[in-house]
Amino acid sequence: MRLAIFGATGGIGRHVLAQAIAAGHEVAVLVRDPGKLTSVAADVRVVSGDITRREDVAAAISGCEAVISALGPTADAGQVGVFREWAHHLVACMQATGPPRLVLLSGAAVDVPGERKAVSDRIASMAVRLLAKHVVAAKQAEFDVVHGSLLDWIAARPPRVVDGPATGRIAAGLDLRLGPRSRISQPDLATFLLRQTTDDTWLRRAPFVTS
């Protein structure tokens, strides 16, 4: 499969990229600094650019069959606008000429219209929003744009993501009870994201994903 991966140099994205290459997929990535991908440059199509430029986003997804975004914002307040703009660019490009399938890395604190979170989950979301309000706000803005699109999207909402080894234990669901100890490793989350490029189980839904 021909995939476009955004956020390929980040903690989760690098695992998505490695697993995609290992699985034999043809991969395109958009990065500001191609030097960060010299070790895999021969295996991927590297587009140098920025997610806030629509023409760069369009170049990255050109000819691809699915898109995976593993982008994560910083704690800066300006990221809210950046992620809203990026999402608009991506949706516009995909709806115009790109692939219909978008797999989006979101977060457990992101709210989905119409859902009724358990009390414990609402409390946890409130705590995360207080501690990382700009990060959550940026991912919420991104999700809201994608949710309102016509794309075949899937948004994964993990709790705490840790830099640990793959365990093979992956649970996904809309009614999962997440607690203070809920977590998933970066490689396990990457595996889940990659699977969603061909799995319709969670089409146009946003499951919580944990181990």
**What tokens were used for 54?**
């629509």
Dihedral of CA atoms 147, 85, 64, 47 in degrees, nearest 10, equals -160
Residue with tokens 């016509």: 150
pLDDT computed for residue 91 by the predictor: 98
pTM of this structure = 0.93
The helix/strand/coil state of 163 is coil
Q: Count CB atoms within 10 A of the CB of residue 69.
A: 26
Contacts of 121-124 spanning 24+ positions with Cβ under 8 A? 121/177, 121/178, 124/159, 124/178, 124/179, 124/180
Domains defined for the chain, CATH in brackets: 2-210 (3.40.50.720)
The 10s digit of each residue's pLDDT in 52-75 is 999 999 999 999 999 999 999 988
Distance CA 9, CA 71 (A): 9
Dihedral of CA atoms 186, 190, 192, 193 in degrees, nearest 10, equals 130
Distance CA 49, CA 209 (A): 30
pLDDT computed for residue 75 by the predictor: 82
Instruction: Calculate mean pLDDT across residues 5-30.
Output: 97
The 10s digit of each residue's pLDDT in 131-182 is 557 899 999 999 999 999 999 999 999 999 999 999 999 999 998 888 778 8
- Alpha-helical segments (H) within the chain: 13-22, 54-61, 79-96, 119-131, 133-147, 186-195
Distance CA 35, CA 14 (A): 14
The 10s digit of each residue's pLDDT in 125-144 is 665 555 557 899 999 999 99
Mean of pLDDT over the chain? 92
